[in-house]
Amino acid sequence: MKNEMELTFDAISNNESFARMAVAAFVSTLNPTLEELADIKTAVSEAVTNAIIHGYENICGYGKYGEVRPCFWPVNQGKVQLNCLLCEGVLHIEVKDEGKGIEDIAQAMEPLYTTKPQLNRSGMGFAFMEAFMDELEVESAPGKGTTVRMKKKIGTGAWIGSEE
């Protein structure tokens, strides 16, 4: 079985929940466990949030009445592309932006490293993607945007990191 989907949306924080819900709904045909779904949603959320706040530097989103919230920084124009492919029980996710790109990918992927500590960013984004997905690949160059590719096998029911 092969099933593909493509989504393009504005790089604003309001779309973070939309993106992870869309992937969760897309993958539901494979009958994933609740744990697998939670893992996928977290990983997608991390990748999309990175594209929005680091790629396009959109710190603010829109509030209930369409106003810029919570601060009054300009909202930059840009699109995030989210492609998914289901093939042989494996979910492939690609999150692509045409933002400012990453200079040092290895450093960016270090746990707790963040370029925006003043915005209460934890620096755990890539660490979470690595922990919750089976494979992670990052392609980026300054000024050229960033592409994050992730893979996860669905239906293994593994509960990685469970220490109960």
Q: Could you give the residue numbers annotated as active site?
A: 46, 50, 121
Rounded least distance, CB 26 to another protein, Å: 17
Residue 127, token pair as written in the block: 């660490």
Which of 1, 66, 106, 120 lies at the binding interface for another protein (CB under 8 A)?
120
Q: Binding to another protein by residue 59, rule CB under 8 A? A: yes
Can you give the three-state secondary structure of 34-93, one letter per residue? HHHHHHHHHHHHHHHHHHHHHHCCCCCEECCCCCEECCCCCCCCCEEEEEEEEECCEEEE
C-alpha 40 chain-centroid distance: 9
Build a one-symbol-per-residue string for 62-91: x at contacts with another protein by CB under 8 A, - elsewhere.
Answer: -------xxx--------------------
Q: How far apart are CA 94 and CA 15, in angstroms?
A: 16
Q: 20: Cβ–Cβ under 8 A, 6 or more apart, which residues?
A: 40, 41, 42, 44, 45, 48
Rounded least distance, CB 60 to another protein, Å: 7
Which of 3, 8, 14, 156 lies at the binding interface for another protein (CB under 8 A)?
14
Q: Binding to another protein by residue 131, rule CB under 8 A? A: yes
Nearer to another protein, 141 or 160 (CB): 160
Residue positions counted in the chain: 164
Interaction site with another protein (CB under 8 A):
13-14, 16-17, 20, 35, 38, 41-42, 45-46, 49, 52-53, 59-61, 69-71, 111, 119-125, 127-128, 131, 161-164
